[in-house]
């Protein structure tokens, strides 16, 4: 059974405390960061150990490419998604082929080391947000749609579910929600007709979404990830989205409007998120875990769909995943 909290670990291997906390039924996921990564062999040993302790758990990572890439040593250096947007202006067919291959390559490498999913891709528009920037494919809605669709088709071909972020759009907000309260003062219609369109058009290809820690005060006083209106009324009812909803990291500054970690995870789950992320603060993770002990577990069938097709492989310090992998790797490295 999969619980409603995703947390992190401190090192390259599980500690005694990690093993104890993983036994809690409300722990549903582990997210890995750069500090947990030494080599492909070490990561696969870590994920294998995690599954010995909790066979049903989801293991995730942020492997977007560009400046957001946790798996580095021994893995392909992936381009920022904005580079596909630039290429699309002059060579659209080539850009779409390479975007699909990059999604496949990323997912193939992540799955090979025992990780179910990367929280990717970013579907935000590259407007004024410094924290988004070239993590976005483009500032143009249709360019984002076609390139992100190709990238996600590559992920799914490799056996990985897709997670679009940050609904309904973070790209038109200057503030970095990691370190500040982020406000978007536009009307619902303005948001729905611009930033939200990428999410709407890509619904058929999306397995999961991550709402933004952005407050849209003309729509609701709560950040989207804490908002029953955004999640229940817009996403579930109006748009009919049936995939998984992961909160963004609940230790981010923009999430602190809800109170302590216990209040934050309750706010996210009450709004309709399936799983809450509490990262880089073990005391907050424990506080959140205590707060949800008496809650029912999330909808299992929905979350089960996020499990990746993890191959049975013996992984060494240097990845070698076959002829297609070698060919695609060379193409992607030349971008």
* Region 28-46 average pLDDT: 98
Give pLDDT tens digits for 104-160. Answer: 999 999 999 999 999 999 999 999 888 899 999 999 999 999 999 999 999 999 999
Active-site positions read 178, 248
Answer whether 186's CB lies under 8 Å from 172's CB.
yes
Concatenate the DSSP letters of all residues of 257-306 into one string: GG-SHHHHHHHHHHHT-SEEE--S-HHHHHHHHHHTTTSPPP-HHHHHTT
Give pLDDT tens digits for 210-258. Answer: 999 899 999 999 999 999 999 999 999 999 999 999 999 888 665 566 6
3-state helix, strand, coil in the chain (%, to 5): 45, 15, 45
Query: Could you tell me how many helices (H) and strands (E) the chain has, helices first?
Result: 12, 12
Q: Say which residue the tokens 């293991």 belong to.
A: 59
At 49, is the pLDDT very low, low, confident or very high (cuts 50, 70, 90)?
Answer: very high
Give pLDDT tens digits for 3-17. Answer: 999 999 999 999 999
**pLDDT of res. 182:** 83
Per the structure block, which two tokens stand in for 72? 């580095």
Share of the chain above pLDDT 90, in %: 90
**pLDDT of res. 254:** 56
Burial class (CB within 10 angstroms; exposed 0-12, middle 13-18, buried 19+) of 322: exposed
Answer whether 321's CB lies under 8 Å from 112's CB.
yes
Query: Rounded to the nearest 10 degrees, what angle do helices 141-158 and 92-112 cross at?
Result: 40
Average pLDDT, the chain: 95
* Region 41-67 average pLDDT: 98
Answer whether 244's CB lies under 8 Å from 208's CB.
yes
Q: For residue 168, say if its preceding peptide bond is cis, omega within 30 degrees of 0.
A: yes
Report whether pLDDT(178) > 70: no
Distance of CA 55 to the CA centre of its chain: 21
Q: How far is CA 15 from CA 75, 115, 214, in A?
A: 25, 19, 35
**pLDDT of res. 60:** 98
**pLDDT of res. 62:** 98
Per the structure block, which two tokens stand in for 89? 């202006």
Provide the sign of the torsion angle of the four alpha carbons 327, 329, 330, 331, taken in this order: positive
**pLDDT of res. 148:** 98
Give the predicted TM-score (pTM) of the model: 0.97
Name residue 7's beta-bridge partners: 30
Phi and psi at residue 58, in whole multiples of 5°?
A: -90, 135
Nearest in space to 243 (alpha carbons), one of 130, 143, 156? 156
* Region 32-41 average pLDDT: 98
Give pLDDT tens digits for 180-200. Answer: 678 999 999 999 999 999 999
Where residue 302 falls (left for φ over 0; alpha for ψ -120 to 50; beta otherwise) is alpha
* Region 61-83 average pLDDT: 97
Across 168-281, the runs of DSSP E, i.e. the strands, are 182-183, 208-211, 214-215, 244-249, 275-277
């Amino acid at each position: 059974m999969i619980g409603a909290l995703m947390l992190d670990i401190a090192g390259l291997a599980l500690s005694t405390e990690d093993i104890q906390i993983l036994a809690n039924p409300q722990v549903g996921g582990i997210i890995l960061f750069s500090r947990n990564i030494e080599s492909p062999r070490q990561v696969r040993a870590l994920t294998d150990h995690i599954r010995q302790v909790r066979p049903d758990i989801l293991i995730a990572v942020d492997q977007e490419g560009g400046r957001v890439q946790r798996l580095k040593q021994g893995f392909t250096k992936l381009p920022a998604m904005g580079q596909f947007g630039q290429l699309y202006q002059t060579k659209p067919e080539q850009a779409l082929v390479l975007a699909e291959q990059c999604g496949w390559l990323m997912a193939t490498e992540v799955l090979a080391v025992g990780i179910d999913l990367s929280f990717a891709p970013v579907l935000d528009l590259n407007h004024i947000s410094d924290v988004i920037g070239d993590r976005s494919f483009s500032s143009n809605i249709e360019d984002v749609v076609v390139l992100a669709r190709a990238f996600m088709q590559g992920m799914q071909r490799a056996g990985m579910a897709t997670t679009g972020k940050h609904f309904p759009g973070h790209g038109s907000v200057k503030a970095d929600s990691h370190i500040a309260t982020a406000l978007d003062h536009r009307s619902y219609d303005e948001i729905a007709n611009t930033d939200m369109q990428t999410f709407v058009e890509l619904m058929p290809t999306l397995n999961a979404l991550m709402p933004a820690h952005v407050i849209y005060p003309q729509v609701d006083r709560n950040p989207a990830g804490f908002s029953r209106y955004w999640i229940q009324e817009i996403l579930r009812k109006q748009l009919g989205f049936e995939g998984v909803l992961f909160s963004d990291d609940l230790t981010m500054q923009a999430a602190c409007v809800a109170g302590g970690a216990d209040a934050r995870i309750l706010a996210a789950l009450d709004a309709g998120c399936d799983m809450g992320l509490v990262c880089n603060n073990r005391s907050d993770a424990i506080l959140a875990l205590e707060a949800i002990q008496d809650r029912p577990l999330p909808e299992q069938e929905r979350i089960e769909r996020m499990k990746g097709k993890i191959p049975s492989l013996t992984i060494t310090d240097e990845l070698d995943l076959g002829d297609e992998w070698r060919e695609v790797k060379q193409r992607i490295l030349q971008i």
